[in-house]
Chain A
């Protein structure tokens, strides 16, 4: 570049990019973006496991993981938005007259393309991850079906009842043996309800004259809260019961005490 008669050379894309990265406003944006991304990653990893109830089934485990992973996937987006949010607020105009004119930037094709590309990629990641989870839970269901315990669940304004056809037991408590796959066959005696054993990460509507299926495997001993997740009239709020994931021997004792026969 010492000779001014040289043909003017366009900077290479690499040079332009490194020059771009040296701009003060770009550096500030990137720094804030990194900061907020980290904040969202930490919040996601910390809060969902903290808020969500004890993980007591394979499905609940997948759900909690999914919430955390999705937070990670969206963290860069949050980082980018909050970065410009913060940066422009720091440069806000004070006073009662309109601010001076800003730069007349009407478009930036490269910027729009990069943004849309990254947004699409992140979305695609979320879609693919969700589809994989969906598929693996469906596969597990098919594999586990033959030796699963069948529980017939009936919603009735405003109580749940459970029938274990293979054991000859009927109950208002949802008791299950640990580590054995369970298939819920759900129906309703009246209006729509939604069967929700909270800690099992299962939910399925109970419809009149139709049967809905749901399946999971309890993996941890403890209490299950069963709720209704579809507004079903007057005492919807009170349509709840509980149950327990038990050791196999406890479960067999319970079955016997209920007058059933063990499987």
Chain B
């Protein structure tokens, strides 16, 4: 990136020559994308009499339309100009690269194919907020339906779609909730880099993801999905047209995560500041990198499983449909080989954010950096060996239940190290309970409950009872929402000053925190009880005996909803009206707090040199 920083210091007078790249933006993307989609849809439309052929043809048309929309959008926004120009031997000029970085384009650059990592970070932030808002609204509708037995708020068909779409929306949002906004905006500054290793790939990962959002929404208008986000075959193979939207979303999203994962990993490996040896890298960077590195092998298996499901639906290939010789177990394996690592892909960055926060707010060094790294690496390493704990009851190979139980429970050991690092840092400290720090305490409690209930679930005999019940739902919400999302929200209030130049409204932060966390305990306490009492998960209705626990849960859910509305208000309101933030409001020692707001295009005027890890807080003890 030295070339880019030289250009900025020399600041060539931008040539306002109206070349193609200055004309492209999200609008042209939408136009070309929709044009590609319509052209595909109408050119492929045919009428068939045979119902089976019709089913296949319909799936072919819809899938092709969705992929062409995505490709068309990327063409229209100019994603392929760089590679194309390189192919024809006329690589982008320095001036054009500077233009792509959004130099001097104000708010417009957020709607362009912009390579500046800070712009991509903000794009991800709003993308995540939008997805969480949609997924959260779906959760509110689910809980409203479940407020009482026999409710007729929504039909079973809509209910099932809500369950599946809530699931996939939240999973996608949670995978990028920390690595998207903070991994892009903050992380390169944290390691003293001028940008990501591959700025154009960075823009690509966001805009590819963006094209998945309308595709996922279209599932709703194509009749929804009946399968839940697990999309088990053969139900998925027989499902209606909405299933195509689900499949296309996963495939597009997998491309985005692969690109983003490779980019973040490469950046951390190759672009760290001078002197930032591996034992001086901020722990958030370590956590985020291990997370995306884990996603790189995990997600393609899901993508493959979805391509196979699509082929079963379009060409009757019979990978997963037992009617034509396939195996639903094969699907379950592919799904969970992604599915279990994926929960750690979600969890690790959230935890790593909290580890970044604790030392700052107790003014003590991070306790045992080595234990933190070993904990993260141990979790990631073990997480690829445990997938079949989701299949204890599937009948696939009961003989292997024992071994999978052992590997799963082993994860408690590195998870224990994660706890130890946070507790050791807190130990004998005087915590400063600002909004980010509250998240640390919420995490400790929520992860404790999530971890212990996970221990029951990992045990084969106990899982005989708990599998497929509301208990499971409560358990994974404790880990994914109670731990990972809490970490991400803490990260938002922590880094908000650096990303927006203003402080996040503190009072609203506190109010939101208490509403969300208290509502959370109420919601999932009720759900643990319902599960222990024997209520299956993903049911649109239930017996009278579960009425009390479900009513409690719905009440808790509304508290959470209220809390997040307050947070959303605060994020929007403080963006324009918040108190102007000083350069380093928390007195932290990581590099991102050494740059002013707005962060310069290449982040640092002079590349920083690192001489120690960023945790040198506290008084020396004998």
Interface residues of A (CB under 8 A from B): 25, 47-48, 51-53, 59-60, 62-63, 66-67, 70-71, 74, 77-78, 80-82, 84-85, 88-89, 91-93, 98-108, 111-112, 115-116, 119-120, 122-123, 126-127, 130-131, 133-134, 137, 186, 190-192, 194, 196, 198-199, 201-205, 207-213, 225, 227-238
Contact = CB atoms under 8 A, between A and B. Distances in A.
Contacts of A107: 367-371
A207 B391 CA distance: 12
Contacts of B444: 81, 85
B547 to A, nearest CB: 14
B462 A92 contact: no
Given A60-B465, A99-B431, A237 B156 contact: yes
A96 B410 CA distance: 42
B393 A101 contact: no
A101 B409 contact: no
B426 A225 contact: no
Given A101-B619, A104-B365, A88 B431 contact: yes
Given A104-B617, A131-B402, A77 B416 contact: yes
Contacts, number: 279
B533 A51 contact: yes
B619 A231 contact: no
A100 B362 CA distance: 8
B26 to A, nearest CB: 37
Interface stretch (B74-82, B253-261, B448-456, B596-604): B448-456
B412 A59 contact: no
List 7 tightest A-B contacts by C-beta distance, closest first: A229-B468, A212-B395, A104-B618, A237-B539, A119-B416, A51-B532, A102-B364
Nearest to B228: A231
B467 interface: yes
Contacts of B448: 77-78, 81-82
Given A105-B427, A233-B235, A92 B433 contact: yes
A116 B402 CA distance: 23
Contacts of A233: 160, 226, 235
A119 B620 CA distance: 30
Given A108-B424, A231-B232, A237-B542, A53 B533 contact: yes
Interface string B45-88: 00000000000000000000000000000000000000000000
A81 B423 contact: yes
Contacts of B475: none
Given A53-B533, A98-B432, A115-B420, A207 B322 contact: yes
Contact of B461 (A116, A130, A196): A130
Given A70-B459, A102-B364, A134-B401, A229 B467 contact: yes
A192 B235 contact: yes
B441 A101 contact: no
Contacts of A236: 156, 160, 536, 538-540
Contacts of A212: 394-395
A89 B619 contact: no
8 contacts: A70-B456, A81-B444, A92-B433, A99-B429, A99-B431, A108-B368, A225-B534, A234-B156
B107 interface: no
Interface in B268-306: none
A211 to B, nearest CB: 8
Contacts of B428: 25, 88, 102-103, 105
B232 A123 contact: no
B420 A186 contact: no
Interface string B230-269: 1010110010000000000000000000000000000000
Nearest to A240: B543
B586 A203 contact: no
A194 B235 CA distance: 14
Contacts of A88: 362, 426-431
Contacts of A191: 232, 234-235, 238
B621 interface: yes
